[in-house]
Amino acid sequence: MKDLFAHLRGAVMSTLILAAVCCGLYPLIVFGVGQLAFREQANGSLITDPDGTVRGSRLLGQGFTADKYFHPRPSAAGNGYDAANSSGSNLGPTSQKLYDAIKDRIAAYRKENGLKNSDSVPADAVTASGSGLDPHISLRNAELQAPRVATARGLGVEKVRALISQSTDPAGFGVLGEAGVNVLRLNLALDGL
């Protein structure tokens, strides 16, 4: 019986020590390192106004539909850009539902941007990303939207293209993927004019 209590005491003490280290000390150390070395990233890469108002995260897409704004990729996350329901549509390449949705999006994109039926449409303009929250669009997508945004805001297209250039993030490490235009940053820059 004495041995049983000795083993139980050892097991309980080991459990308490491991719980304190793994559930308390280690998370505090990771949190501290994150706050000291990677403060912006650890706090969500937030974009704020000069007065401190949070406008969003540079890592999460938001829905913009007005003509005076650049429009992001379509979203399959919940009711659109819902980070709590982040996901793709899970529709495969042979899905009739996906085919019909893309066909409708192509027609809508051409109409809203004044394109001809023969003009090609960038894939990112009509397909959702894997998470449904991608904050970037391709340079080509932004260039095709620039005349609509310039007209709606009464700006010159060259001024809008300069803002596109300022809001473009390069490819990862200069070679991974392609450059992308951060839609939130671009639309906030437009609002700041």
At 59-89, the pLDDT tens digits run 888 889 899 999 999 888 777 777 777 777 7
Structure tokens at 114: 């004044």
Cα separation, 66 vs 73, in Å, equals 14
Report the run of H or E that residue 90 belongs to, with start and end. Answer: none
Q: Which of 67, 154, 156, 47 is nearest to 109 (CA)?
A: 67
pLDDT of residue 3: 82
What is the radius of gyration, based on Cα positions, of the chain? 24
Q: Residue 133: which pLDDT band, with cuts at 50, 70 and 90?
A: confident
Average pLDDT over residues 141-156: 94
Rounded to 5°, angle at Cα 77 from 96 and 139: 85
| Phi and psi torsions of 171, nearest 5° | -60, 150
Residues 6+ apart with CB under 8 A from 160: 146, 149, 150, 153, 190
pTM for the full predicted model: 0.77
Amino acid at the residue 171: A
* pLDDT tens figures, 34-47: 899 988 888 888 88
Rounded to 5°, angle at Cα 131 from 130 and 134: 95
pLDDT of residue 61: 84
Q: Residue 13: which pLDDT band, with cuts at 50, 70 and 90?
A: very high
Amino acid at the residue 25: L
